[in-house]
Structure 1
Amino acid sequence: MTSDHRLLLVHAHPDDETINNGATMARYADDGAGVTLVTCTAGEMGEVLVPDLAYLAYEEKGGLGEHRRGELEEAMKVLGVTDHRFLGGFGRFHDSGMAWHEDGHAVAGEFVPDNAFWNADLIEPADELVKVIREVRPHVLVTYDQFGGYGHPDHIQAHRVAMYGAQLAAAPSYRLELGEPHDIAKIYWTAMSESRMRASLRELREAGDTETFAGMEPDGKLPPFVTPDELISARVDGRATVERKMDALAKHATQVQADGPFFSGAESGHSWWAEEFYRLVKGIPGPAGADGFEEDLFAGL
């Protein structure tokens, strides 16, 4: 890539990229930046929310991963992202599945396939990412925090692979056959603003909605995927691209319901989805805007 700005995103399954960063990806694609998406698994064990496609489920006939591959391709067309790849090639690392813990976060399920991403020796997927980093030579990397946002084993593994791969890619003496070493200038973790979440919860409850985000209250304890604002470094204003984000999310039809909370009520709005927040974990922050956040992930480079 020859663009002056290059962004690399590492995600666990198809649809994660659009939910977390769809407005950001569309914005930078429109700006002419190089945007590369690496998806670590095909999401073969995900839930199928379309009754007519229930046969694709892992526990039925299977084939969900191949179907989601097509959904991802269509979503990327909407966002304008032309460089999207599966880590190590399609099917190299299998979806690990998950279960829900009683505390409300994801954990590994009772059954984890032998070829699951969660079971992979960390060096193997990290080396695959090293190849991508040294080829693309991104200025900015985006991935999850150490808990993968909500505890999904594939999200946690994606975080580990992204952070380790970035370190290995920069090492001047590490496996030079994988490409010329490259040090990524800025690394961000995705985040959800605590103040934004509390304000939205307050609006929901005052409007009489007790079902959306059930169990969460404006002044109560929040789940681990919510990030205190003092830890957040950047906020990307996606008002100009949020409609495309929602259109791209609709392409992941097996994973979202058109009449569900992603698309209806105060949760979407669509203002909820137009702001995307990030924690800077490597690099020098750029100048902050009026709200105290960086407004451009490439600021300061």
Structure 2
Amino acid sequence: MVGHRLLFVHAHPDDESLWTGGTIARHVAAGGDADLIVCTWAPGTSRHSEVVAAARILGLPRPPIALGYADDRIPASAPGAPRFCDVRLDTQVREMVEIIRRLRPDALVTYDPIGVYGHQDHIHAHRLADAAARAAAVPNIYRRLGDPWQIKSIYEVTTAAWMVDILWEHVFDDMAVDRLQATPDLDIDVRVDIESPAIVDRKEAAIQAHHTELDRSRAMKALMSLPTDIRRTLLATECYRRRDLVPGGVDLL
């Protein structure tokens, strides 16, 4: 379904490319519209400039919306701003409801309830996105923030069991990979297979735009250093659980 608008909500720069970059690029290349909210890293910081570049590579028509909170354990990610998880949820819901009512997306894409692998910023982003999607549709909440808007479906990033098996063998140590949720194939509602090599190339280029995280993260270095066939097998599949907020919902792609 090309004519609908998607809203992606991610905790950190690089998450949009790693977990949903193929979906973004494929949707936009087919003529769809989309926006990206990044909850941490303020404008003017290194990783914010990198997510702006990555969004451009993926084809997003507008720059990411930065909420500007601090990344967990990295105060320099938003000097003087509170940590993302420390701010009252209702304050952040109000902020996101205004964005949702202004953009009017048909579907929202974020992490699953455990944040894919338990990162507290990911879990908080899931809770925030879920609460804001529901609140945005209620007429008597935040009346000054625009007309109510009903998001039809929420899509939650998850990891297929076969992907975790590959990551276990090639990328993570046992303790790190043990936190990844291995979702059985029968429990995955939507599997986005990126058949176009050009779209996979675009996703890889967007990941490579995140120089700071590639320099810091052993897992990302290991992922991007895998043999081409294994790496592209992983990057060419993105998996989601689907939750419809209205009967019938809306398809992701």
Q: TM-score range by the shorter chain?
A: 0.7 to 0.9
Matched ranges for 1:129-168 at <5 A: 129-168=96-135
Given the alignment of the two structures, is residue 274 of structure 1 paired with residue 241 of structure 2, yes or no? no
Task: Output the CA distance in 1 between the equivalents of 2:93 and 2:137.
Answer: 12
Matched, 1:13 2:12: yes
Q: Show structure 2 runs of 5+ residues with no match.
A: 75-79
Distance 1:28 1:114 in 2: 33
| Mapped pair 1:75 → 2:75 | no
Give the direction of change, closer, same or farther, for the CA distance of 1:247–1:195 in structure 2 (3 Å limit).
same
Who is 2:164 aligned against?
197
Instruction: Indicate the SS of the match to 1:83.
Output: coil
The answer to whether structure 1 residue 297 and structure 2 residue 252 are counterparts is yes
Give 1:41-56 correspondences, 5 Å limit: 41-42=40-41
Structure 2 counterpart of 1:243, which letter?
D
Give 2:182's aligned residue: 226
Letter in 2 for 1:264: S
The 10-residue stretch of structure 1 (147-156 or 246-255) with the greater mean CA deviation from structure 2:
147-156
- Return the offset for 1:235: 0.8
| CA deviation map 1:222-274 (0-9, x unaligned) | 53432222321001122321110000110001101599222122585212101
The secondary structure found in structure 2 opposite 1:245 is helix
User: Paired residue for 2:207?
Assistant: 249
1:262 maps to amino acid: L
Q: Is the 8 A contact 1:87 1:129 kept in 2?
A: no
2:164 and 2:180 in contact (8 A); partners too: no
Q: Contact 1:144 / 1:156 at 8 angstroms: preserved in 2?
A: yes
Q: Which amino acid aligns with 1:37?
A: L
Q: TM-score, normalised by structure 1?
A: 0.71
Give the aligned partner of residue 95 of structure 2.
128
Quick one: distance in 1 between partners of 2:223 and 2:21?
13
Conservation of the 8 A alpha-carbon contact between 1:261 and 1:268:
no
Q: Is the 8 A contact 1:41 1:86 kept in 2?
A: no
Cα distance in 1 for partners of 2:96, 2:191 equals 26
Paired residue for 1:110?
A: none
Could you tell me which residue of structure 2 aligns to residue 24 of structure 1?
A: 23
Q: Distance in 2 between matches of 1:85 and 1:131?
A: 15
Bigger Rg, structure 1 or 2:
1
1:84/1:165 Cα in 2 relative to 1: closer, same or farther (>3 Å)? farther
- Alpha carbons 2:38, 2:66 under 8 Å: kept: yes
Residue of structure 2 in register with 1:261 after alignment? 222
Q: Deviations over 1:143-175 (max 9, x none)?
A: 112221222221111111101101110102111
Structure having the higher helix fraction is: 2
TM-score if structure 2 supplies the norm length? 0.84
The 1-side partners of 2:94 and 2:152 are apart by 19
What one-letter code is carried by the residue in structure 1 that aligns with 2:189?
S
CA distance in 1, matches of 2:11, 2:230: 23
Distance 1:82 1:226, change over 3 A: same
Contact 1:256–1:262 under 8 Å retained in 2: no
CA distance in 2, matches of 1:20, 1:138: 19
For 2:117 and 2:163, the matched residues in 1 are separated by 18
> Counterpart of 2:77?
none
Q: Given that residues 33 and 61 in structure 2 are in contact (C-alpha distance below 8 angstroms), is that contact kept between their aligned partners in structure 1?
A: no
Contact kept? 1:96, 1:154, Cα under 8 Å: yes
Task: Indicate how the Cα distance of structure 1 residues 171 and 212 shifts in structure 2: closer, same or farther if over 3 A, else same.
Answer: same
- Cα distance in 2 between the residues matched to 1:83 and 1:269: 29
Question: Structure 1 residues 234 and 6 mapped into 2: Cα distance closer, same or farther (>3 Å)?
Answer: same
Partners of 1:79 and 1:281 in 2: CA distance: 25
Matching of residues 65-104 of structure 1 within 5 Å: 66-88=45-67, 91=68, 93-97=69-73
Letter of the 1:172 counterpart: P
